Structures are given as C-alpha cells and as structure tokens.
C-alpha cells in the first residue's frame, strides 16, 4: 500500500476485526463470563489507537510536510465527542428518571464530561456516576494521549529524527512508564487502581502502537509475498507472553510488568494481522460479521455497560448468564442507531473538512 494514500480514504479492514475482538472481550468480561480478561480488551484498544493515530499523522506529514493541529483536533472532536456526550447525557437522564439506580453526584459526572474520570476514579472511586458509565475512564486516558502525542511527534520530526529513532524514543518512554509503575507499586505500595486507571501508568499501551506505526509499519510500503520465519517465531513468543500475562496472578506483576508484556506481544500480532490479513486465523478478522461489530465498536463500548446495568436493575430474575445475549443484541441495535444518526454524518463532515 502506498504511503501517499490520503488519510480520509485510509482504511485497514483487519483493524475492524481487531476492534470487534477487543470489544467482545470487554463485553464478556463485564457481562460476568468467568476467565474473560476485559482489561486486556482495553489494552488492545489502546494499542490500536496509538497505531492508527500515528499512521494517519505520518501519512499527513508525507502528504503535506507538516501536522495540521487544528485539523487533527477537529477530526478527533467530530469522531469522539458527539457519541461520547450523547451516551453520557442518556445515562444521566436515565438515572434522574429512576430507570437506572442512583444517586448521581455532580463532581463525578463532571469528571467524565471533562475527561479526567480516570484520576477521579483513582482517588475517589466511581460512586455517583450513571450505572454502566465507568468505562469512560479509558476514554479519558485516550483524550490525554491525543492532547500530548501530536506535539511530541511534531517535535521529533522538527529535530529530524529518523523513523528508527522515533521508534526508539517511543519505546524508551515505554521503559520509563514501566519503571514508574514499579516505583509506584514496590516503593509507594499504591493500590491497583492507581496503576490500572491513570494515564501516566497506561500511556505505554498506546506508545507501543505508535512505535509500530513509525518504523516498519505493516500498512505502508511493499508487502512481502509470505510471512517470514522470524514473524512466525515472534507470534509464538507473543502467544507465550499472553499466556504468562494471564496466568500469573500476583498483583505486583499484574500492575507493573503485565502491561509491558502485553504491549510487546501485541506488536507482532498487529503486524501480522495488518500485513497478512489472508494468512491463517487472521483471515477471520476480515469477515463481514466482525467487520460490522468493529465498525460499531466505539458506540458499543460506550453503551454496553449501561445496557447491562439496565437489565441487571430491571431483569434481575433472569440471572447474569441469561442477561448477556439480550444485552449484546440491544447494545448492537443502539450502537447501530448512533452510527447511523451521529457517527456516519460526522464522518462525512470530517471528510468534507479535509478537502
């Protein structure tokens, strides 16, 4: 794929499949299915965000020679905020009307609206918010990333860092974040929410994706005819890292090394899925069903917790296992309506603004 492709037309089908898998991990975990790592689904979303945003910025620089910050933040605003505030407002209204259990508190809800709910959750917990909207903490992390990363990338370009040095810089920051988590956990003995929710301790999950985007990006440049032996061995090593990250239950490991281990393991997985979408199990990511779920994944992520909370409140007699399938069906329906009514028109407006 040529690196001169316009960002407005840039689309990697396998990423929709990855989005769908990440959402399903989150949904099944929140629906109470035993052994499903919902938190890993969030980590996959973080990696994907870093990879995709950096790829789009790289395409923009190659096309125009610079980063248009105004256009970047306008695109992000149109992509993220309309569904974000629609679902948050719906949660508030459902709680005020008594359809969701309450009570609401102003300061926790403001932390969601103003994109610092992750730090509010660290120091105050999530009491006082609309049922099912605790997932907004991860969106706060991403908003913080969007606020600082374009400037960091522009600085590296300004000082004429090569792509390999850019990758080294991002990976060095990842090492710094790991060291910071270790200091917090082993020296200050912080609770798990501090390392799980905070931007300064989760930023590396996105930066691993950024590193993949700037050097050896699987979506840009010529495609080799078949996967190399090195990639196959890398995928085997990644599988072992995933197993280790899921099976070791010690809190100190889980809140320090685990995120780094998963970021490293996602590196070859994303590379193979994007560069060889027809190879082995990766062809499943290009399927129509996963593609449809992936297209709706952002709105699904926003609404699924609220739907689960509504069914738990009003249909408690069904039991947790029986509430899962209707919750998924309702979430898909609501997300599809949001996509039709909000996301699709906003995408058209973004494309018009790019020309």
DSSP code at position 209 = H
Spatial neighbors of 10 by CB under 8 A, at least 6 apart, are 55, 56, 59
Q: Is residue 332 part of a domain?
A: yes
Q: Is residue 140 part of a domain?
A: yes
Q: How confident is the model at residue 194 (pLDDT cuts 50, 70, 90)?
A: very high
Alpha carbons within 13 A on the beta-carbon side of 347: 12
Comparing 226 with 3, the larger pLDDT belongs to: 226
- What pLDDT does 196 receive? 97
**pLDDT tens digit sequence for 239-257:** 999 999 999 999 999 999 9
- What pLDDT does 223 receive? 65
- What pLDDT does 29 receive? 96
Which has the minimum average pLDDT: 45-54, 278-287, 290-299?
278-287
- What pLDDT does 222 receive? 61
- What pLDDT does 318 receive? 85
Residue 271 near residue 208, CB atoms below 8 Å: no
Which has the minimum average pLDDT: 8-12, 154-158, 311-315, 319-323?
8-12
**pLDDT tens digit sequence for 134-177:** 999 999 999 999 999 999 999 999 999 999 999 999 999 999 99
Q: Is residue 2 part of a domain?
A: no
Mean pLDDT, rounded, for 34-63: 95
Q: What is d(CA 313, CA 34) in angstroms, rounded to the nearest whole number?
A: 21
Q: How confident is the model at residue 5 (pLDDT cuts 50, 70, 90)?
A: very low
Mean pLDDT, rounded, for 299-313: 97
Residue 7 has pLDDT above 60, yes or no: no
Q: How confident is the model at residue 2 (pLDDT cuts 50, 70, 90)?
A: very low
- What pLDDT does 200 receive? 98
Q: What is d(CA 271, CA 294) in angstroms, rounded to the nearest whole number?
A: 18
| CA torsion through residues 114, 116, 118, 122, sign | negative
Q: What is d(CA 151, CA 159) in angstroms, rounded to the nearest whole number?
A: 12
Residue 265 has pLDDT above 80, yes or no: yes
Residue 132 near residue 305, CB atoms below 8 Å: yes
Q: Is residue 55 part of a domain?
A: yes
- Mean pLDDT score of the chain: 93
Q: Is residue 151 part of a domain?
A: yes
Mean pLDDT, rounded, for 259-269: 98
**pLDDT tens digit sequence for 63-114:** 999 999 999 999 999 999 999 999 999 999 999 999 999 899 999 999 999 9
**CA-wise closest residue to 68 among 78, 76, 60, 56:** 60
Mean pLDDT, rounded, for 262-282: 95
Structure tokens at 234: 């890398």
CB-count exposure of residue 302 (10 Å: 0-12, 13-18, 19+) = buried
If one counts the domains in the chain, the total is 1
Q: Residue 138: helix, strand or coil by DSSP?
A: helix
Q: How confident is the model at residue 1 (pLDDT cuts 50, 70, 90)?
A: very low
Number of H helices, E strands in the chain: 16, 0
Q: Is residue 164 part of a domain?
A: yes
**pLDDT tens digit sequence for 21-37:** 999 999 999 999 999 99
Question: Domain residues for 73?
Answer: 7-354
Q: How confident is the model at residue 3 (pLDDT cuts 50, 70, 90)?
A: very low
Residue 263 has pLDDT above 80, yes or no: yes
Residue 26 near residue 304, CB atoms below 8 Å: yes
Q: Is residue 122 part of a domain?
A: yes
Q: Is residue 146 part of a domain?
A: yes
């Amino acid at each position: 794929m040529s690196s001169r492709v316009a960002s407005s037309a840039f689309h990697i089908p396998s990423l929709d499949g990855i989005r769908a898998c990440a959402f399903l991990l989150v949904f099944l975990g929140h629906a109470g299915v035993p052994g499903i790592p919902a938190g890993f689904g969030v980590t996959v979303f973080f990696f994907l965000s870093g990879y995709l945003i950096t790829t789009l910025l790289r395409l923009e620089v190659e096309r125009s020679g610079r980063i248009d910050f105004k256009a970047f933040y306008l695109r992000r605003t149109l992509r993220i905020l309309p569904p974000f505030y629609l679902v948050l407002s719906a949660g508030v209204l459902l709680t005020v009307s008594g359809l969701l259990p309450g009570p609401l508190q102003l300061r926790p809800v403001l932390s969601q609206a103003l994109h610092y709910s992750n730090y509010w959750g660290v120091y105050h917990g999530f009491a006082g918010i609309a049922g099912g909207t605790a997932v907004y903490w991860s969106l706060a992390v991403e908003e913080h990333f969007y606020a600082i990363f374009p400037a960091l990338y522009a600085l590296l370009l300004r000082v004429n860092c090569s792509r390999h040095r850019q990758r080294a810089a991002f990976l060095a920051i990842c090492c710094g974040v790991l060291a910071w988590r270790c200091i917090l956990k082993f020296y200050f003995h912080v609770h798990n929410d501090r390392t799980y929710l905070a931007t300064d301790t989760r930023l590396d999950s996105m930066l691993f994706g950024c590193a993949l985007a700037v050097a050896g990006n699987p979506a840009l440049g010529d495609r080799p005819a078949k996967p190399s032996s090195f990639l196959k061995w890398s995928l085997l090593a990644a599988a072992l890292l995933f197993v280790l990250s899921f099976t070791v239950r010690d809190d100190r490991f889980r809140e320090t090394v685990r995120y780094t281990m998963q970021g490293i393991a996602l590196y070859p997985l994303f590379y193979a899925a994007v560069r060889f979408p027809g190879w082995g199990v990766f062809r499943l990511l290009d399927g129509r069903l996963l593609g449809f779920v992936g297209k709706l994944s952002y709105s699904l992520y926003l609404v699924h917790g609220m739907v689960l909370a509504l069914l738990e409140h009003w249909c408690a007699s069904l039991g947790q296992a029986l509430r899962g399938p209707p919750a998924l069906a309702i979430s898909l329906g609501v997300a599809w309506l949001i996509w039709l009514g909000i996301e699709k028109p906003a995408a058209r407006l973004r494309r018009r603004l790019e020309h």
